[in-house]
């Protein structure tokens, strides 16, 4: 199942935005309020979603100035990747968040709305990041 936000504009150049989101210590600013117990270093991010459980992510791919992709580490309820896609617009950039999740139909029905809300919220916060 593929969940995507809309592309949103950011006032940073694609290079500057890529540098910012390539360091996982900067990602908590994009996460919703329900995320607590955040731990991050350059390549790793872990946190707890209140009422849902803990998750650990690792940067699985970086493509200079266009993509940062995160994958879960350890046990998760389902396999997924979270991609931050960046497109240059001169001195600004456009950003889109995408979750590609391997879910059975029942799980997909239950998870679609929360995952869509997550990428939409991250996109909203990107405008002011």
H-assigned helices in 6-129: 14-22, 105-126
Beta strands per DSSP E along the chain: 2-4, 8-10, 35-40, 44-49, 53-63, 67-72, 79-89, 92-102
* pLDDT confidence of residue 121: 93
Find the radius of gyration of the CA atoms of the chain.
14
* pLDDT confidence of residue 90: 84
* Distance from C-alpha of 126 to C-alpha of 129, rounded to nearest angstrom: 5
Sketch out the chain's domains with CATH numbers. Answer: 2-126 (3.30.530.20)
Whether residue 74 has pLDDT greater than 90: no
pLDDT band at 15 (very low <50, low <70, confident <90, very high): very high
Whether residue 54 has pLDDT greater than 90: no
Whether residue 37 has pLDDT greater than 80: yes
pLDDT band at 111 (very low <50, low <70, confident <90, very high): confident
* pLDDT confidence of residue 5: 97
DSSP state of 126: H
Average pLDDT over residues 4-27: 96
* Distance from C-alpha of 40 to C-alpha of 106, rounded to nearest angstrom: 32
* pLDDT confidence of residue 6: 97
* pLDDT confidence of residue 60: 97
């Amino acid at each position: 199942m593929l969940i995507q936000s809309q592309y949103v504009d950011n006032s940073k150049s694609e290079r500057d935005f890529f540098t910012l989101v390539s360091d996982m210590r900067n990602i908590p600013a994009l996460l919703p309020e329900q995320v607590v117990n955040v731990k991050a270093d350059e390549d790793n991010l872990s946190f707890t979603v209140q009422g849902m459980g803990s998750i650990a992510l690792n940067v699985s791919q970086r493509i200079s100035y266009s993509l940062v992709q995160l994958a879960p580490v350890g046990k998760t309820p389902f396999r997924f990747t979270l991609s931050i896609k960046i497109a240059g617009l001169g001195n600004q950039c456009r950003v889109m968040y995408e979750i590609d999740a391997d879910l059975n139909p029942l799980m997909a029905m239950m998870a679609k709305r929360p995952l869509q809300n997550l990428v939409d919220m991250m996109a909203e916060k990107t405008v002011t990041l």
